[in-house]
Chains A and B, each alone.
Chain A
Amino acid sequence: MSKQFQFKLVLLGESAVGKSSLVLRFVKDQFDDYRESTIGAAFLTQTVTLDDQTTVKFEIWDTAGQERYKAPMYYRNANCAVVVYDITQSASLEKARTWIRELQRQADPSIVIALCGNKLDLSARRQVSQEEAKKYADEEGLMWTETSAKTGEGVTEIFTAIAQKLPLTAPSATRAGAGRAGPGARAGVDLNKQAASSGQPEACNC
Chain B
Amino acid sequence: MDEEYDVIVLGTGLTECILSGLLSVEGKKVLHMDRNDYYGGESASLNLTQLYRKFRPDQAPPADLGRDRDYAVDLVPKFIIASGELTKILVHTDVTRYLEFKQIAGSYVYREGRISKVPSTEMEAVRSPLMGLFEKRRAKKFFEFLQGWKDEDPTTHQGINLDEDSMKTVYEKFGLEAGTQDFIGHAMALYLDDDYITKPARPSYDRIVLYTSSMARYGKSPYIYPLYGLGELPQSFARLSAIYGGTYMLDKKIDAIVTDSDGKFVGVTSGGETVKAKQVIGDPSYFGANGGDGGKVRVVEEGKVVRAICFLKHPIPGTDDSDSCQIIIPQNQVNRRHDIYIAMVSSTHNVCAKGVYVAIVSTVVETDRPEQEIAAGLSLLGPIYDKFVDITPLYTPTSSGQADNIFITRSYDATSHFETVVEDVQDVWKRVVGSDLVLKKREVEVQN
Contacts and interface: CB of A to CB of B under 8 A. Distances in A.
B90 A191 contact: yes
Given A42-B97, A64-B242, A204-B440, A73 B447 contact: no
B101 A189 contact: yes
B100 A41 contact: no
Given A39-B243, A106-B69, 4 more contacts: A40-B442, A189-B102, A194-B217, A204-B439
Contacts of B241: 66
Interface string A62-103: 001111111111101100000000000000000000000000
B243 A188 contact: no
A205 B438 CA distance: 8
30 contacts: A40-B443, A42-B97, A42-B98, A43-B445, A44-B447, A64-B239, A64-B242, A65-B246, A71-B39, A71-B235, A72-B228, A73-B39, A74-B235, A74-B239, A76-B228, A76-B232, A77-B100, A106-B69, A107-B69, A185-B100, A188-B227, A189-B82, A189-B218, A191-B87, A191-B101, A194-B82, A198-B217, A204-B92, A205-B438, A206-B440
Contact of A65 (B98, B242, B439): B242
Contacts of B92: 202, 204
Contacts of A71: 39, 235, 238-239
Interface of A: 27, 39-45, 64-74, 76-77, 105-107, 178-180, 184-185, 188-189, 191-192, 194-195, 198, 202-206
Closest A-B pairs by Cβ, 7 of them: A73-B235, A64-B242, A66-B242, A206-B441, A69-B250, A65-B242, A64-B243
A45 B447 contact: yes
B96 interface: yes
A188 B100 contact: yes
B88 A65 contact: no
A64 B243 CA distance: 5
B445 A41 contact: yes
B409 interface: no
Contacts of B228: 72-73, 76
B236 A73 contact: yes
B103 interface: yes
A72 B228 CA distance: 10
Contacts of B110: none
Contacts of A194: 82, 217-218
Interface string B59-94: 000000000110000000000001100011011100
Interface of B: 37-39, 68-69, 82-83, 87-88, 90-92, 96-98, 100-103, 217-218, 224, 227-228, 231-232, 235-236, 238-251, 350, 438-443, 445-448
A24 B80 CA distance: 37
B332 to A, nearest CB: 33
B217 A42 contact: no
Contact of B37 (A27, A70, A202): A70
Contacts of B350: 184
Given A42-B243, A64-B239, A188-B102, A69 B227 contact: no
Given A64-B243, A191-B91, A194-B218, A73 B102 contact: no
Contacts of A68: 248
B429 to A, nearest CB: 16
A76 B233 CA distance: 13
Contacts of A179: 100
A184 B101 CA distance: 13
Interface hub of A66, A188, A205 (most chain B Cβ within 10 A): A66
A73 B230 CA distance: 11
Contacts of B101: 188-189, 191
Contacts of A178: 446
Contacts of A191: 87, 90-91, 96, 101, 224
Nearest to A66: B242
A105 B98 contact: no
A67 B248 CA distance: 9
A82 to B, nearest CB: 18
B248 A65 contact: yes
Contacts of B232: 73, 76
Nearest to A46: B448
B50 to A, nearest CB: 11
B102 A72 contact: no
Contacts of A203: 439
Contact of A66 (B224, B248, B446): B248
Contact of A43 (B217, B248, B446): B446
B247 A189 contact: no
A77 B68 CA distance: 16
Contacts of B446: 42-45, 178
Interface hub of B37, B440, B445 (most chain A Cβ within 10 A): B445
A189 B224 contact: yes
A158 to B, nearest CB: 20
Contact of A192 (B96, B440, B443, B445): B96
Nearest to A37: B245
A27 to B, nearest CB: 7
A180 B446 CA distance: 13
Nearest to A196: B91
A31 B272 CA distance: 39
A202 B88 contact: yes
A40 B443 CA distance: 8
Given A105-B69, A206-B440, A206-B441, A72 B235 contact: yes
B228 to A, nearest CB: 6
Nearest to B32: A66
